[in-house]
Structure formats: structure tokens, C-alpha cells
């Protein structure tokens, strides 16, 4: 830290993104990306747009929001597009949380929530997950705070039923409830169906996972137009051109070719079941997952040791050092070929350890 770094942010510990090593080609199962390329139309759409890069992008994302409206069944003014769901979350925290409505979220969840809280000087409280890593929804009933819940949760993959989400939203009418649905397309159930009923519900989504566009940075928020207008106030006070032209046009094409992505999600779900069964056979304990990853603990090999040994053998998974989850690794579900390599490498490691 230089002597110029502001005292205001003394406590800020930045988010640690998953590794994106460039030294060699890994079987990359560490950042929950899709193993499948974007759909065919995306390439053409992006190439045709290159000429227009001389012009600023459309801050309102009109074409994209019209297409989103068809897919999600709400009018365009119920939708905002941002640079990844991370940006939507940050903007929403700035807009809706403060000393009077601090943030609450589980102790084990997406690591960016406390960072966004810290950088925006928003007080926050972490509520412990149950012993089986589920979110006890009763902890959030009538808390009278700004709630943020990832559903399915990360890194556990556990899903909370919509009835529990609705109970939380209903019991906190004076606070915004933010549901982060980054992984909802892999077997969860979206709370978008509830936004017309509750003016305090904001659903956050992304094109990074099920729509194979992590590198393009496209996310969104869906909620009552008053909430969307508030988030727009923050967006227009930060960077109105937050969605670049190539990303916007790629997003439109992806939505036109939605069937392709739906099929990919079905494949990932099948591959997830295959992986769970193969890991179980190897003595792993796995949290039931509705996401494109599984959270797995070996009965025999320490979490960090397994992560490092796999890395040495060219397979990347994600290990977290937090005490409660340090025995686990989060493993992204890729193609069946990739999952087979993972299983083979774990067998090799076990062999080398004499297990």
C-alpha cells in the first residue's frame, strides 16, 4: 500500500478471483465457467459490430432489454443490464443498503459481498449456515435489513425453495431482498416469477455461467421499475457505457439462440450427476448441488493438499481457506471428458499416497 492510499479504506481486503494461470493449459474447473463456446450467431454478430466501435454503446441497452423482456416475461423497464452481475450487486448495495438498512448474508457465500459492503462503508452481518450448510430461512424472517442470498448458494451449490425466498421477501417489506441467481439455470427455480408481487425483490443474474459469456461481462437485475430506476441512478453516476457494443450484441444473439444454452445446461446437469457418483465411489462427501459445480470433501486427503496435487497434474479446482470449509474443494462441472480426467487424476493421487 502506498502512503497515498486513503485511510477511508484501511480495512478493505480485496476479493481474490479464481486463478486464470497462463503458464500452461489446464483442465479448468475452478471458476464455474461454461466448458461450451458461445452459440454460432454470437461470432457473426460480434464481427459485424466491430465497425461501430467508433461510437459509444447504448447506455439503455434497448435492443438487449427488449430481448430479455421476451425471455424473462417482464417489461423492459423491469430490467437493467450491467457489466457482470458483480456490478449489479455493487450498484444495488450502494443504492439500497446503509447504516439504517445494513446488509445480512450467510457466513459461507459469495466472497464479494463483504468486499462490496466494505468499499461502500455499509455495515454487514454474517449469519452462520446450518451444520449441513443449508441457509436457515427463518434467520432472515423480519430481520429488517437488506438481505442478499445467492440461490443456489456458492460455494455450496445448495438451493433454497422459492417458498422460503417468498417468506423472507414478504416479512421484510421495508428492505430490499437481493437474490443472486448466478447459478439458477442448472436446476434451481427463479424468483423472477415473484417480482410483480413484491416491490422489494431484486433478482440478479448473469450471462457468465449458463450462457458461456464470462469473458464478455454481462449481468442484469430484474425487479420493480422503481428499484431499477434507483440502480440506474448509480449506473449513470458511475459509467453509463458499462456494457460495451460487442458484449451487448453478443448478448442479443445468445438470447435468440437460447435453446442451445438450455441444452448445454441439461448436459451439465447430467455431467454433475456422473461426477457426484464417481466422487462418491472414491469416498468423497458431496453437498447436493443445483449449480454447475459441486462442493466436495475427501474422506482421506486434506482440501489444500488435494487442490495442490491436482494443480500439479494440470487440473484446477477452487480451494478456500476459511476454517469451516477448508476441507472442501469446489469443482466446476465441465465436459464429461474433463470430469473423467479429474477422476483419473484423483485416482492417481490416491495411488501415490498409498490410499
Where on the chain is the footprint of ligand PMP (CB under 6 A)? 84-86, 110, 150, 154, 180, 182, 206, 208, 214, 219
| Rounded Cα gap, residues 333 and 39, in angstroms | 19
Of 91 and 110, nearer to ligand PMP (C-beta) is 110
Of 133 and 309, nearer to ligand PMP (C-beta) is 133
User: Rg of the chain over CA atoms, in angstroms?
Assistant: 21
CB 247 within 8 A of CB 217: yes
Query: What is the nearest approach in angstroms of ligand PMP to the Cβ of residue 83?
Result: 8
Largest CA distance in the chain: 62
Query: What is the nearest approach in angstroms of ligand PMP to the Cβ of residue 135?
Result: 13
CB 95 within 8 A of CB 234: yes
Strand partners, 284: 298
Query: What is the nearest approach in angstroms of ligand PMP to the Cβ of residue 180?
Result: 5
Of 89 and 341, nearer to ligand PMP (C-beta) is 89
What DSSP designation does 142 have? T
Query: What is the nearest approach in angstroms of ligand PMP to the Cβ of residue 348?
Result: 29
3-state secondary structure (DSSP) of residue 67: helix
CB within 8 A of 252, min separation 6: which ones?
45, 63, 64, 67
| Rounded Cα gap, residues 183 and 172, in angstroms | 24
Residue 283 — φ and ψ, nearest 5°?
90, 15
| Rounded Cα gap, residues 254 and 272, in angstroms | 23
Of 76 and 152, nearer to ligand PMP (C-beta) is 152
- By Cβ distance, which residue is nearest to ligand PMP? 84
Of 180 and 230, nearer to ligand PMP (C-beta) is 180
Query: What is the nearest approach in angstroms of ligand PMP to the Cβ of residue 110?
Result: 4
Of 180 and 185, nearer to ligand PMP (C-beta) is 180
Which stretches within the chain are classed as H helix? 40-49, 62-72, 84-96, 112-119, 162-171, 225-235, 245-256, 258-281, 303-312, 336-352
Which residue in the block uniquely carries the three cell numbers 486427503?
A: 301
Of 86 and 185, nearer to ligand PMP (C-beta) is 86
User: How far apart, in Å, are the Cα atoms of 218 and each of 77, 185, 250, 251, 313?
Assistant: 18, 16, 9, 8, 32
Q: Which three cell numbers stand for residue 317?
A: 479446482
Of 187 and 341, nearer to ligand PMP (C-beta) is 187
Query: What is the nearest approach in angstroms of ligand PMP to the Cβ of residue 183?
Result: 7
Query: What is the nearest approach in angstroms of ligand PMP to the Cβ of residue 159?
Result: 13
Query: What is the nearest approach in angstroms of ligand PMP to the Cβ of residue 182?
Result: 4
Amino acid at each position: 500500500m502506498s502512503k497515498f492510499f486513503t485511510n477511508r479504506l484501511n480495512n478493505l481486503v480485496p476479493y481474490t478471483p479464481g486463478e486464470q494461470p497462463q503458464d500452461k493449459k489446464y483442465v479448468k474447473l475452478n471458476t464455474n465457467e461454461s466448458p461450451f463456446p458461445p452459440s454460432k450467431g454470437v461470432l457473426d454478430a460480434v464481427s459485424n459490430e466491430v465497425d461501430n466501435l467508433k461510437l459509444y454503446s447504448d447506455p439503455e441497452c434497448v435492443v438487449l432489454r427488449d430481448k430479455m423482456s421476451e425471455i424473462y416475461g417482464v417489461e423492459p423497464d423491469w430490467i437493467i443490464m450491467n457489466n457482470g452481475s458483480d456490478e449489479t450487486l455493487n450498484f444495488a448495495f450502494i443504492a439500497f443498503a446503509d447504516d439504517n438498512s445494513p446488509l445480512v448474508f450467510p457466513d459461507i457465500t459469495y466472497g464479494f459481498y463483504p468486499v462490496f459492503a466494505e468499499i461502500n462503508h455499509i455495515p454487514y452481518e454474517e449469519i452462520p449456515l446450518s451444520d449441513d450448510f443449508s441457509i436457515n430461512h427463518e434467520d432472515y424472517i423480519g430481520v429488517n435489513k437488506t438481505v442478499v442470498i445467492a440461490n443456489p448458494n456458492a460455494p455450496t451449490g445448495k438451493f433454497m425453495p422459492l417458498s422460503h425466498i417468498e417468506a423472507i421477501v414478504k416479512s421484510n417489506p421495508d428492505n430490499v431482498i437481493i437474490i443472486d441467481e448466478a447459478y439458477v439455470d442448472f436446476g434451481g427455480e427463479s424468483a423472477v416469477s415473484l417480482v410483480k408481487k413484491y416491490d422489494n425483490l431484486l433478482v440478479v443474474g448473469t450471462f457468465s455461467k449458463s450462457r458461456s459469456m464470462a469473458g464478455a461481462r454481462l449481468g442484469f437485475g430484474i425487479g420493480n421499475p422503481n428499484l431499477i430506476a434507483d440502480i440506474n441512478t448509480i449506473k449513470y453516476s458511475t459509467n453509463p457505457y458499462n456494457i460495451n457494443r460487442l458484449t451487448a450484441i453478443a448478448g442479443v444473439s445468445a438470447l435468440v439462440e437460447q435453446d442451445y444454452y438450455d441444452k448445454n445446461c441439461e448436459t451439465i446437469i447430467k455431467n454433475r450427476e456422473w461426477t457426484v457418483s464417481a466422487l462418491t465411489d472414491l469416498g468423497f462427501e458431496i453437498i447436493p448441488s443445483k449449480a454447475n459445480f459441486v462442493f466436495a470433501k475427501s474422506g482421506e486427503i486434506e482440501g489444500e493438499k488435494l487442490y495442490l496435487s491436482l494443480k500439479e497434474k494440470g487440473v484446477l479446482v477452487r480451494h478456500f481457506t476459511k476454517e469451516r470449509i477448508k476441507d472442501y474443494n469446489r469443482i466446476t462441472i465441465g465436459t464429461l471428458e474433463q470430469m473423467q480426467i479429474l477422476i483419473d487424476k484423483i485416482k492417481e493421487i490416491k495411488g501415490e499416497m498409498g490410499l
